Amino acid sequence: MTETQLPFGFPLSHTGMSAHAALAAVAVEMEEANPPAVVNPKELAGSKKPATWSVMPRWVSLLVGRIMTVGAAKYGAFNYRESAIAASTYEDALERHLQLWFDGEDNDPETGESHLASVIAGCTLLLDAQATGKLVDNRQKTGIARKVLDRLEGRLKDEPLPTRFAA
């Protein structure tokens, strides 16, 4: 049995294990080898809070803030709270940004920032409008997408596809 190296130089002696499972096994082994010290009561209380900001990459928030600032300058800050916004308008914008990013264009020429940051900003507006009752919910809502997805996932059990496609 050959030993495989995981990221950060951790050896893996098990064959046939997925990378995710292997990393989880290494984490368990490391915790067993180095049991955690006594936990500070504040850390214990904090770990039970619903918003765990420490796991979010802060730089992403900075980019989204930049996109939101450009939007505020163009349309007015929090304009989406003053008058209702249509879900379809943002669906179209989100799709345009995703299509351009997947086509190889990393940054939006208007903002100079990642198209993906614009997608997050657009989703932020949709969530806020939905939470504040300012969303014109003109989604298609046919239920067909869920049915097709479930059917296709069921087919994968009998007819698995390759895990990676050539670029």
> What are the pLDDT digits (tens) for 91-132?
999 999 999 999 999 999 999 999 999 999 999 999 999 999
| pTM, rounded to two decimals | 0.68
Residues 6+ apart with CB under 8 A from 138: 86, 87, 88
Separation of alpha carbons 83 and 28, rounded Å: 51
Beta strands 135-136 and 85-86, pairing class: parallel
What pLDDT shows up at residue 30?
Answer: 62
pLDDT > 70: what percent of the chain?
76
Kindly indicate the confidence band of residue 163, based on its pLDDT and cuts at 50, 70 and 90. Answer: confident
Mean pLDDT over each residue of the chain, to the nearest integer: 84
Task: List, for residues 3-56, the tens digit of each pLDDT value.
Answer: 554 444 545 454 456 655 666 666 666 666 766 667 788 777 877 777 777 888
Q: Is 76 left (phi over 0), alpha (psi -120 to 50) or beta?
A: left
What pLDDT shows up at residue 106?
Answer: 98
Indicate the Cα dihedral angle 150, 152, 157, 159, nearest 10°: 170
| Region 68-80 average pLDDT | 95
Say if residue 153's pLDDT is above 80.
yes
- Structure-model confidence comparison of residues 33 and 144, the more confident one: 144
Say if residue 167's pLDDT is above 70.
no
